[in-house]
Structure 1
Amino acid sequence: MDQVTQHDNQQAQRKAAMAVLAHAETGEIAARLRTIPLPGHQDLREPENGLVMLRGRVGGDGAPFNLGEATVSRAAVRLVSGEVGFGYTLGRDTGKARLIALCDALVQSGDFSAAIERDVIAPLREQLMNRRQQAAAETAATKVDFYTMVRGEG
């Protein structure tokens, strides 16, 4: 049971890290990684661009249909210690896909997991939250409240 819990925790940590990295800018990820002495690693899958089919549903629960295609970039990286990381991102930014794959592998590494969380993921998460709060504040500043006055008839 302990191994299952540990595996679930690691999967949750990877998922949370990927959510942050997918929304971060390429330069921000690269700058954060420069502060960490990286282990040896190699590309398992050279970064490449491709297309994925987007599916939609009418009303959210109707019959699925092909909405269109989106460009994605993907990469796979293996550390010398054996951990394999995968990176996907929307668009044609193969550099970002490779950095995400490297971070994914490092998150799985016992030696680098804490450093990646502390020096890369946490600062990027905070930066993204600040941007979202700023955007919400700017939107709230333009909010208009409409109200209807009830007429007394009769």
Structure 2
Amino acid sequence: MTQPQTAETAGPDRRRIMEALAKADQSLLEEIWAGLAPQPIHSAVRGPETGLVMIRGRIGGGGAPFNLGEATVSRATIRLESGEIGFGQTLGLAPRKAELAALFDALSQRAEFSGLVSELVASIEAGIADDDAEHLRRTAATRVDFFTMVRGED
């Protein structure tokens, strides 16, 4: 059995996977999980559980930090029967989504499931990019260009 990765030892690919899973629609994760046959045997290490985290901000992006407020988050940690440990977290009251994210994180560490998880992450990232492009398109329609007219008095 290999040494499980932690958040500190995770490479850029695993961070990318975990970020995409946190942003995914729960229905998509449920659909992919339901399509797995046989579903890997797993057990909960922690959670799923819901709690609060403090959101910190900085005035002007670089000033002194201050507490902006709290946000609800859900998290879960699972262990596959083969020993891989997966972590999942997401904003909001979504314990099942956190559990599914943890399951797919653990599956990404297994060679036979890495292709499936890579396709899932690519699909999630494409959906996010499409949503961002649509948001930019809608807000561009409301853009106002201000200009300064120079008066000849100077």
Using structure 2 for the length normalisation, give the TM-score. Answer: 0.83
- Call closer, same or farther: CA 1:35–1:61 in 2, change over 3 Å: same
How far apart, CA to CA, are the structure 1 residues paired with 2:108 and 2:142?
41
> Residues 111-138 of structure 1, C-alpha deviation per residue, up to 9 Å, x if partnerless?
21122112x1111111111111111111
TM-score (norm 1): 0.83
Matches within 5 A, 1:1-154: 11-37=11-37, 38-118=39-119, 120-153=120-153
Change in CA separation of 1:28 and 1:62 when aligned onto 2, cut-off 3 Å: same
The Cα of 1:139 is off from its aligned counterpart by 0.8
CA-CA distance at 1:46 after TM superposition? 2.5
Where do 5+ consecutive residues of structure 2 fail to align? 1-8
- Root-mean-square deviation (Å): 2.2
Could you tell me which runs of 5 or more consecutive residues in structure 1 were left unpaired when the two chains were aligned: 1-8
Residue identity over aligned pairs, in percent, reads 48
Q: Work out the number of aligned pairs and report it.
A: 146
Greater helix proportion: 1
1:85, CA displacement in angstroms?
A: 0.3
